[in-house]
Chains A and B, each alone.
Chain A
Amino acid sequence: MSKVYIALQDNEESHYIVEAIEEDNPDVTVIYQPAMIRIECEGHMVIKRETVEEKMGRDWEIPALHVNLITLGGNVDEDDDQLSLTWNN
């Protein structure tokens, strides 16, 4: 299985997103580097709007992810409720 990954700018808002990702994807590895946070996982990872909203305690929509996004790896699928990354191998 290949690793999908996402990297976010290290800031207040991203910390909630990382918490949500960890909750929805128990197998992720979170790596802190200067100014950035890299999250990787075998095969598949999902970011759910509902979980992020719960962590932030306010409304949040998936395209807002782009504000803090640095890079990602994997095939992307996005709709109103979630963004997922997948490698089919």
Chain B
Amino acid sequence: MSNKKLNMKDKYRLLTRDLEWEFSYRDRKEIFPQEDFEGIKITDWSKWEDPFRLTMDSYWKYQAEKEKKLYAIFDAFSQNNGQQNVTDARYVNAIKLFLTGVSPLEYQAYSGFAHVGRQFGGVGARVACQMQSLDELRHVQTQIHAMSHYNKHFDGFQDFAHMHDRVWYLSVPKSFFDDARSAGPFEFMVAIGFSFEYVLTNLLFVPFMSGAAYNGDMATVTFGFSAQSDEARHMTLGLEIIKFLLEQHEDNVPIVQRWINKWLWRGYRVLTLVAMMMDYMLPNKVMSWQESFEVYFEEAASSLFKDLARYGIEMPPYAADAIAEKEHLSHQAWSIFYNYGHAAAFHTWMPTAQEMDWLSEKYPNTFDKYYRPRFEKWREMEEAGERYYNPTLPMLCQTCQIPMGFTDMENPTMTSYRQSVYDGERYNFCSNGCKDIFDHEPEKYVQSWMPVHQIFQGNCGGPEMEDVLGDYYRINLGVDNLDFKGSPDEARWNGWHNLQSAEDKLKKAS
């Protein structure tokens, strides 16, 4: 058989048709036991179409090409001591947060897609999910490889997988994926394939990676964009599953709408970390969080939801809440981390005078009015040798697990605070979105592993701060945590650069 004569569509049809067969001695329901319980109705799986019509031969061919390019750059980066050429050592803390907070999600995505790639009754959907599963495994591996180079030269990278499972702020991304993977297969696809991949990963990868390039970090740009080259396929799969579900049966529409509402808000809350990475952790700035949010969320989501309107799908009600927060989000998030800088596995700092001016320029309605005075006070305390650390443990939102530090957008100096009572217990939430999600499935969210509750219950190493942070989280105290100023990272960085300039002087002299 000559492959050359077949076109892409024929090849794809053969690939999928050959993997499907009639079940003669087992009931379909036994083979696909998870297909019905969520209430989704599928009448005809053959209506599924993968717009990329990717076949295995071209999949392996182009993935191999991507890997070759990627590893060539990793080699060049380490051979040239690329770690010394980033803008400044504060930048590397964004990468620490990426490795501990985001890369393990790639592994969760791998595992989740492998699972749903078995559960769907349609072969087209199964093949697409299996390929995506392989992509996600590639993402976590390449990210660990890329960052292993930084681990040789900076603190805070050494125990990322252990930390992901335990550290308080990492429970935000971890619980997001745990929530999706413990849902049914169709909800997982709407959660990850659609809301996360289609609507939100652009905000996670595109402006941040462009920012990495602008800060001299070619290794990160390259793994980021190499992962994104698969993302385009994942996004298309995410959009395809939504259209497919909506076209299959009108009863699917309200179920899908509720999932979209839920997962868009859940995902947006996780991106809080990205907002502060962009505005506070990149020394050279490409665009502000607000600007990227406008391009990649407001503009992109409005085109998308206009397109879905013909199925009866509407923009989630919480989108307005996300838009209202865009001028505040990164500042509030950085304030939380600055406060709890002793309990983080990366360094925090107050922006320089010049950086504060950039923030004033980018956020003319909010920065000077609400945040600058507080930040300048903290800077004064720091200069007086009394760097502020908050000694209490924060109250967390039961749904997103972020400390209750967001404010009411109508009254931006008041903490936004919602409550529900379930089974005689009171639960706290940061927003309407988080409260509604809980109220719909309280029996799920009362089981959440809440880091602060766990500390109080004595499940995290012991009663003292050192027990929790040092023994249980495995933060190397006095090394990985606290302010960037005075850290071993800073001392090493200064060492390299003085050394370099001394070498330069010698070269010039000879």
Contacts and interface: CB of A to CB of B under 8 A. Distances in A.
Contacts of B9: 79
B210 A34 contact: yes
B62 A67 contact: yes
B213 A34 contact: yes
A77 B201 CA distance: 21
B303 A64 contact: no
A29 interface: no
Contacts of A79: 7-9, 53
B210 A68 contact: no
A71 B206 contact: yes
B232 A87 contact: no
Contacts of B213: 34-36
A33 B300 CA distance: 18
Contacts of A3: 299, 303
B93 interface: no
B13 interface: no
Contact of A71 (B231, B286, B304): B231
Given A78-B52, A78-B53, A88 B210 contact: no
Contacts, number: 98
Interface residues of A, number: 30
Interface stretch (B118-126, B233-241, B342-350): B233-241
Given A36-B206, A36-B210, A75 B239 contact: yes
A7 to B, nearest CB: 7
B1 to A, nearest CB: 18
A33 B286 contact: yes
Interface string B33-61: 00000000000000000011110001000
B66 A70 contact: no
B209 interface: yes
Interface string A3-20: 110010100000000000
A56 interface: no
A30 interface: no
A89 B286 contact: no
B206 A77 contact: no
A2, A69, A71, A88, most chain B CB atoms within 10 A: A71
A68 B8 contact: no
Interface of A: 2-4, 7, 9, 33-36, 62-64, 66-80, 87-89
Given A33-B286, A78-B52, 12 more contacts: A34-B210, A35-B209, A35-B214, A36-B209, A63-B58, A67-B65, A67-B66, A70-B225, A71-B231, A72-B232, A72-B236, A77-B51
6 contacts: A36-B209, A62-B8, A70-B228, A73-B300, A79-B9, A87-B307
